[in-house]
Amino acid sequence: MQMLCRIVKYKYLHRRSPLNNLNIYNSVTIFKQRSTMDIDWATGDVNLYSSRTSYDVGQRLLEPTHRDPMEMLKSWLNEAEHCPDIPEHNAMALATSTTDGIPSVRYVLLKAVDDRGLLFFTNYMSRKGRELTENSFAAVAFYWHPLHKQIRVEGCVEKLSGSESDEYFATRPRQSQLAALASGVQSSRIANREVLDSRMRDLELKYPEGCRIPRPDIWGGYRIIPSKMEFWFGHTNRLHDRFVFMKRDKCLPQYELPQSDILNEGANGWVYYRLTP
């Protein structure tokens, strides 16, 4: 028996900075999509053995399209943005970890790419915020199924300045600003939905239309400074193309550059090599 879920893209708004940096501050999406899976209703088991996609793209990624992976990231993001079958091109899975190696992962929205890294915003007291305080290393992954493309980024994470966080917070819709205040310490336990609704009603009275809403001190931005990036391009029979870029001067202790005969010089301090699927 199949369970069916439908999802269709409705609206997409964006603003791009005139600078070389990528700005996705005003990116808003409402979407629906379709997928199927087999469920044994007697046992509740889900069987995905026969669920697979053939990546019949008819082309190969013989070499990276850019020698600087940050430029390649921007190029692939731009391609994903203009693909009508991708509802939220700036969604990325963010993985963090405690100092003793307990991981957690969730989706966040990429909000900008500058000359130093990838920017996202969240509550500093959320689980991810607390884990980044303990362990400043993180990883993100983008996956755009209609393009058969994936990007993985690993590196150190730093907090943005208060002014940078203020600049982004000011661009958020009023209700989103109020929600950041109403949430308080993100992921804290509450009795029911009414707790949030009551906070929102109080905040709407405190900050009427046209009134400036202050950014909460426990809310702001982070920058992921990449030291390793992987670009994946899906192919038929799972013979995918994979290229890894590493920054020579930012290699983490656990990273080891391969032998020189498969190492290629990139741009701006990056080197790259190919991986098997």
**Minimal CA–CA distance to 133: which of 142, 124, 143?**
124
Rg of the chain taking only CA atoms, in angstroms: 21
87 sits in which H/E element:
none
The token pair at 40 is 């044994």
CA 161 to chain centre: 20
Distance from C-alpha of 256 to C-alpha of 262, rounded to nearest angstrom: 13
Q: Are 244 and 230 in contact (CB under 8 A)?
A: yes
First-to-final CA distance of the chain: 33
CB-count burial class (<10 Å; 0-12, 13-18, 19+) for 217: exposed
Which amino acid is located at 206 in the chain? K
Distance from C-alpha of 250 to C-alpha of 187, rounded to nearest angstrom: 33
Please name the residue that has the structure tokens 């909460």: 216
Distance from C-alpha of 55 to C-alpha of 148, rounded to nearest angstrom: 7
The token pair at 13 is 């708004």
What amino acid positions are annotated as catalytic residues?
A: 238
